[in-house]
Amino acid sequence: MLLSTRVLSFALLGVQIAHGAIIYQHSDNLPDNTDYDFIVAGGGTAGLVVASRLAENPQWKILVIEAGPSDSDVFEIAVPGLVGSIPKAVNWNYTTVPQNHLGGRSLGYSRAMVLGGCSSHNGMIYTRGSRDDWNQWADITGDDGLRWSNMLPIMEKMEQFGRDVTFLDVSGHIDPSFHGSNGALSVTASYTNVSMNNYLLQATEELSDEFPFKLDMNDGQPIGIGWTQYTITSNGERSNAASAFLPRTGDNIHVLVNTRVTRVLPVGHGSDFRKVEFTVDANGPKKQLRAKKEVILAGGVISSPQILMNSGIGERAALEMIGIKTLVDNPSVGKNFSDQVATSMRFSTTLPTTNYDAIRALAQWNESHTGPMAQAAALNHLAWIRLPDNKLAGSSDPASGQSSPHIEFQFGKISPSITSQNETVLSVSVINLHTTSRGSISLSDSNPFTDPNIDLNLLAEEVDVSILREGVRSAQRLFSSTAFKAHINGMIAPAVNFTSDEDLNAYIRSSAGSYLHGVASLSMSPKNAHWGVVDPDFYVKGTSGLRVVDASVIPSVPSGHTQIPVYGFAERASVLIAETYRST
């Protein structure tokens, strides 16, 4: 029998095996009389790490409840080059409230609704954040376990660094002493043979003060221009939370898909929230299950606060207004929602386009898992810039310390120009990593199927705009270097005559969007603090039997993309949960 087949379906039983785990399509299919020790609500990036780490104890039975289907049912997810084509059918399709400081625009807020969560549809960029980010989180929460020196070994142990599909020698592209080779999560450094490679590396010599060459942006000091690393396997496939972590588990994990958790409920009249309520659709019957040990909420930065508020855990006045009985009064629930903010620039160039024939590339990927579809992006570098103190608009440093950049450039693609045959257009995203504006997640009614109000409150603080402005000017300096002079004709967006602060501000407010790296809507804070939602042991304040483990507990945005900090927090939580029950 072909047991290694990726998906084995037992359609009649409503049961499927994916990534070696048992996937139940409906709660009616769950085996009777299973007493679950842990119920994980949300089978996403963090949830699957916690579930699979707990399952390392063969005595423990774990149920994961995921709103979306199995990721193995969606072909596009595995193919890195199809990252932009993952169907909307597995998205929550959120829209923010109109953003006051972006000219009233509402923004899409993409979140995956599928096993693996956002790790199943994200851009696969692998960044750990800076040394100071982790040290600051340790300082804020009082958990020394979160210090860089403690987390680096955990992040390395989680990692399986491998060769890129092009089998390029990665020396000079990464520092192997910062990488692990036996972990669950696959990581490769990207390589495509494009002339941008050479020009960027030349610029790191010419402008070494502002853009030094960075051998490895995951060494804790991500400042400079370096080769991007991705959560892609050596076999040219996306490595997500499901494909990385589930195969390492036994049959003591049951994954229930297509099922939405609506609330967590107390057992009896106290604050011991070890029960979950769930249903398949808004009008269907609701069921409840009780965990023997704990419920772990892992619905992500939007859903986890939504579920808590629906359960009566939140700000009393706000809950009362929509008829939800307050069980735990905590005004911090849903507040301090933080995200990075990005603006986009376009340059007219004579560089060759990075477009390729997608049908042929997909045929090649289908055949051998090689070629452009085995890559997440055509260009290979990221730039991380730390501003000097005098460029911070007189504000105190919003970054976590000297090892933390303020700005990132992500080099998009080089497309044919629509106005001139001889030109191409290079797109570059400029990102303010450490914003100071804070948003919120709130409810407008008590129906768990109503989308929450998502207010990013982007660019509410003036310093957030001025840092983006410095970023735009920094990108202009990079592309005015001798290295690029012969290949970059000029700037298209913002228009070249946008030089004053006022004009750039207007451009930024009209073009800026979220970088989709939201955190902190259920921030961790010290035990007994007067703010925050979870304690450093991830328990929801004022409750027992209920923890939250996902991006929402991370107190501030990292100096990078968020998936690895999320994985890191999930590993930390797994250790703490296992310690609680060591002898049982």
Ligand X SMILES: Cc1cc2nc3c(=O)[nH]c(=O)nc-3n(C[C@H](O)[C@H](O)[C@H](O)COP(=O)(O)OP(=O)(O)OC[C@H]3O[C@@H](n4cnc5c(N)ncnc54)[C@H](O)[C@@H]3O)c2cc1C
- Residues with catalytic roles: 517, 561
Contact of 82 with 237, CB cutoff 8 Å: no
For 336, the 3-state DSSP assignment is: strand
Is 418 a binder of ligand NAG (CB under 6 A)? Answer: no
Q: Residue 137 CB, nearest distance to ligand NAG (Å)?
A: 11
* Contacts of ligand NAG in 11-70 (CB under 6 A): none
Stretch that binds ligand X, among 301-309, 314-322, 454-462, 572-580 (CB under 6 A): 301-309
Q: Which one among 34, 100, 198, 366 touches ligand NAG, defined by CB under 6 A?
A: 366
Whether 328 has a binding-site annotation, put simply, is no
Burial of 4 (0-12, 13-18, 19+ CB in 10 A): exposed
**Other beta carbons less than 10 A from residue 287's beta carbon:** 15
Q: Residue 159 CB, nearest distance to ligand NAG (Å)?
A: 25
Nearer to ligand X, 348 or 427 (CB): 427
Phi, psi for 337 (deg, rounded to 5): -60, 120
Stretch that binds ligand NAG, among 47-55, 128-136, 171-179, 332-340 (CB under 6 A): 332-340
**Other beta carbons less than 10 A from residue 207's beta carbon:** 18
Kindly list the strands in the beta sheet with 439-442, ordered across the sheet, starting from the edge strand earlier in the chain: 335-337, 439-442, 453-455
Cα–Cα distance between 567 and 576 in angstroms, integer? 14
Q: Which one among 396, 419, 422, 583 touches ligand NAG, defined by CB under 6 A?
A: 422
Nearer to ligand NAG, 226 or 266 (CB): 226
Nearer to ligand NAG, 10 or 531 (CB): 531
The token duo for 26 is 């409906």
The gap between the terminal CA atoms of the chain, to the nearest Å, is 38
Q: Which one among 176, 495, 501, 575 touches ligand NAG, defined by CB under 6 A?
A: 495
Is 498 a binder of ligand NAG (CB under 6 A)? Answer: yes
Q: Which one among 13, 26, 34, 93 touches ligand NAG, defined by CB under 6 A?
A: 93
3-state secondary structure 389-413: HHHCCCCCCCCCCCCCCCEEEEEEE
Q: Residue 560 CB, nearest distance to ligand X (Å)?
A: 7
**Other beta carbons less than 10 A from residue 226's beta carbon:** 26
Whether 425 has a binding-site annotation, put simply, is no
Is 130 a binder of ligand X (CB under 6 A)? Answer: no
Quote the DSSP letter at residue 99: B
Is 89 a binder of ligand NAG (CB under 6 A)? Answer: yes
Quote the DSSP letter at residue 8: E
Q: Which one among 69, 81, 117, 452 touches ligand X, defined by CB under 6 A?
A: 117
Tell the residue number behind the tokens 């989680």, with chain if given: 158
Is 342 a binder of ligand X (CB under 6 A)? Answer: no
Contact of 304 with 550, CB cutoff 8 Å: yes
The stretches of 427-545 forming alpha helices (DSSP H) are 462-479, 482-485, 501-511
Cα–Cα distance between 146 and 152 in angstroms, integer? 9
Nearer to ligand X, 10 or 449 (CB): 449
Q: Residue 516 CB, nearest distance to ligand NAG (Å)?
A: 16
Q: Which residues are annotated as a binding site?
A: 114, 261, 515
Binding site for ligand X (CB under 6 A): 41-47, 65-68, 110-113, 117-119, 121-125, 127, 260-261, 298-301, 303, 307, 516-517, 550-551, 561-564, 566
Chain positions contacting ligand NAG, by CB under 6 A: 75, 88-89, 91-93, 113, 193, 331-332, 335-336, 359, 362-363, 366, 422, 495, 497-498, 503, 531
Binding residues for FAD: 114, 261
